Structures are given as C-alpha cells and as structure tokens.
Structure 1
Amino acid sequence: MDSYEFSLSGLGELKRAISEREDLRDVKEVVRRNGADMFKMSQSRVPVDTYTLKRSAKLSSEDDGMSVAVSYNTDYAAYQEYGTRFIPGKFYLKQVFDSASSTFLSDLERLFK
C-alpha cells in the first residue's frame, strides 16, 4: 500500500494571524462551510452497494467550531478507502480532502488579506 503524506507550509503565520483576531466568527464560518462542502463531495464519491457505508457518514464540529471531521463509521470503510490486496482503494475521502484543502486555504488567505 502506498504511503500518504500531507504537509502545509506557512502554518505558523496562519496560527499567529488567527490568534491575533479577536472575533473568530468569520474563521469558524469558513471552517463550517468547507467542512459541509467536503461532506457533500464525499457523499457523491463514496462507493455504493447497499448504501450502508453512505448512511454511516458523519460530519462533526470540534474545538468550538475551529475544526470539522468527516467520517464513515462501518467496519469496512477503511477497506473501501485504502483497498486490500484483492481490491484497489477507492480513495473517496483522500480525493475530496485534496480538492477541499486548496479551497479552504484560499478562503482563509482571502479572509486575512
């Protein structure tokens, strides 16, 4: 199985800019909107056979609205995402994350300019 690596540059400056803002409602709105978009995109890409995996989807907000999590809660969700030696991975979450992360970062950059 291939390894997956994700890195962000400029994260220190972003954290500093966020902490200097007194009102974080607009930041939380960007997080909420991008999380909801990520959830919708993942729902359209999740493999469907019996709809059990699709129905197990969960979108949750954490850290007082500063982060969101999209998860699929079945015993076989990881096998569908990453594959096994018998079936290739579908990468329905990785593809969505890759797409949504660039949009999220550009929304935050626009917010702080």
Structure 2
Amino acid sequence: MLAKAKIILEGLDDLTAALKGKMNLSEIPQVVKKHGAQLSSRTQSNMNAAYTHGYSTGRTRRSVKPVFSDGGMTVSVGPTTDYFPYLEYGTRFMSAMPTLKPAFDVQSQMFINELKRLMQ
C-alpha cells in the first residue's frame, strides 16, 4: 500500500500572524470554503481530461470532495481511492497522469493572492 501524499505550504505561521494583525478572521472560512470547492472542481476537471483516452469508471473522480475542519479554517481535498497514487505518479508499467498537483499549483496561488488582498 502506498503512503498518502502530503503537500506542505511553508510560511503559513507568518501569514496567520499577519492576518490576525491586519484583518477580521471571520472572512477566512468563506475564502477557505470557496477555494476548497474550486480545488475539488479543478481536480475533477483535470481527471476528466486525463482519463478520456483510457479506461475509467469515474470512481476516483467522484471521491474528490472537500473536507472542512477547524471551524472552516482548514480544508482537505484529495481522492480517497487506494489506487490514486498510481494514477497521479505512475508506475513502471503506466505513465503518470497528474491531476491533483496541477490543480493545487494553480488554486493555491489564487488562495494566497486572495488572502493577501484581505490583509490590505
């Protein structure tokens, strides 16, 4: 069984401190909700595009749902199928079909930009 992939954003403590000093944190859960939903949608869209040339039941795509915690301050998004890492990273028999990382790369920058705007 493969270990789950973990993506860590550096500098979140500094960002949190800056946010606490410059804005009302009550807006953050809405921003987290918005970007969590968009990350989920973007990942599913990437899966639709990646899997059009091969066999797909859609199970992995359907398993991508945002899960909120910490009073809406945290969101986790990712497929829950056991075989997702094989699809994302490939195997020696199959090429990688990255869907989550490309979605995260785009969405995380949009999320950070929106938080920065709120700090002004």
Same fold (TM over 0.5): yes
Tell me the CA shift for residue 5 of structure 1.
Answer: 7.7
The reply on whether 1:39 has 2:35 as its aligned counterpart is: no
Separation in structure 2 between the aligned mates of residue 20 and residue 60 of structure 1, nearest angstrom: 27
List alignment gaps of at least 5 residues for structure 1: none
Figure out how many residues of one structure are paired with residues of the other and give that number.
109
TM-score (norm. length: structure 1): 0.83
Tell me the CA shift for residue 14 of structure 1.
Answer: 1.2
Tell me the CA shift for residue 57 of structure 1.
Answer: 1.9
Tell me the CA shift for residue 54 of structure 1.
Answer: 1.4
The code of the aligned residue for 1:31 comes to V
Decide whether aligned partners of structure 1 residues 50 and 67 sit closer, same or farther in structure 2, where only a CA change above 3 A counts.
same
Please name the residue that 2:3 is paired with: none
List alignment gaps of at least 5 residues for structure 2: 1-5
Please name the residue that 2:97 is paired with: 90
The code of the aligned residue for 2:92 comes to R
SS of the counterpart of 2:14? helix
| Cα RMSD (Å) | 2.2
TM-score (norm. length: structure 2): 0.79
The reply on whether 1:57 has 2:57 as its aligned counterpart is: no
SS of the counterpart of 2:110? helix
In 1, are the aligned partners of 2:43 and 2:103 still within 8 Å (CA)?
yes
Segment drifting more, 50-59 vs 80-89: 50-59
- Matched residues, percent identical? 35
